A and B are shown apart, each in its own frame.
Chain A
Amino acid sequence: GIQVEQSPPDLILQEGANSTLRCNFSDSVNNLQWFHQNPWGQLINLFYIPSGTKQNGRLSATTVATERYSLLYISSSQTTDSGVYFCAVIQGAQKLVFGQGTRLTINP
């Protein structure tokens, strides 16, 4: 099956810093989503981005489907951005396949 790899596995930053999270996938995909899992375990949808670039406030994402990667940018980090960020892809059939996640810690 398709492999989804995220990097880095852990990232620790000071408040106000910018960060880039990467998601590589091993095969062509129909769609890609980025999620934030907050400290309570909830999965919050950030972006549905099969290709191109989208922005939502301090967050933006870019997917280059032909090169099989996606990037999530977080600017001016806040402590509330802490948590685990998951990339997940859909290939062919319906199921979403998740990466292992990047654990982001923003220190005040």
Chain B
Amino acid sequence: EPEVTQTPSHQVTQMGQEVILRCVPISNHLYFYWYRQILGQKVEFLVSFYNNEISEKSEIFDDQFSVERPDGSNFTLKIRSTKLEDSAMYFCASRSGAGYGYTFGSGTRLTVV
């Protein structure tokens, strides 16, 4: 079964540093998403991406965050200057179209120290 692949699985970074989380969505999928889950809490929407642009973003997705699909296969989430409260599990997801289910990657656990 096709998978969404995320790297790294775990990243530790110092406060103020930039991090890039990487995702390879399923190849024929058109819609891409980032979600995050702070430890013990529910999964929250960050941003959706379609046709090479952001289609929706949440209040959490402020100017410190950006997304990119640099080469037609990778989908990245950049956090410019990390804060302690950015520590969370970050999930990438994709789907082939409206009316289809989401497939999630296995997540990147980001720890900001």
Give Cα distance in the complex from A100 to B109, angstroms: 19
**Which among A93, A96, A100 is the interface contact of B102 at CB below 8 angstroms?**
A96
**B91 and A43 contacting across the interface, CB-CB below 8 Å:** yes
**How far is it, in angstroms, between the C-alpha of A93 and the C-alpha of B50 when the chains are bound?**
12
Residues 79-113 (chain B) with a chain A CB within 8 angstroms: 89, 91, 93, 98-104, 106-107, 109
State whether A41 touches B43 (Cβ < 8 A): no
- Once A94-B31, A94-B48 are accepted as A-B contacts, the answer to whether A35 and B42 lie under 8 Å apart by CB is no
Q: Does B44 contact A (CB under 8 A)?
A: yes
Please state if B104 and A45 are interface contacts (CB–CB under 8 Å): yes
Interface string of A18-59 (1 = CB under 8 A from B): 000000000000110101000011110100100000000000
CB contact under 8 A between A31 and B104, given known A88-B43, A94-B50: no
- Chain B residues contacting A45 (CB-CB under 8 Å) are 101-104
Residues from 68 to 96 in A contacting B, C-beta threshold 8 Å: 86, 88, 93-96
CB neighbours (8 Å) of B43 from chain A are 43, 86, 88, 98
Check if B75 is an interface residue, CB within 8 A of chain A.
no
A contact residues around B102 at 8 Å (CB): 33, 45, 88, 96
Q: How many residues of A contact B (CB 8 A)?
A: 21
CA distance A38 to B109 in the complex (A): 14
| Given contacts A33-B101, A45-B101, A48-B101, A96 and B45 within 8 Å (CB-CB) | yes
15 contacts between A and B (CB under 8 A): A30-B98, A41-B107, A42-B104, A43-B43, A43-B106, A45-B101, A45-B103, A86-B42, A93-B56, A95-B48, A96-B45, A96-B93, A96-B102, A97-B45, A98-B43
Q: Which residues of A contact B (CB under 8 A)?
A: 30-31, 33, 35, 40-43, 45, 48, 86, 88, 93-101
Per CB-CB distance, the 5 closest pairs between chain A and chain B, nearest first, are A48-B101, A43-B104, A98-B43, A95-B45, A42-B106
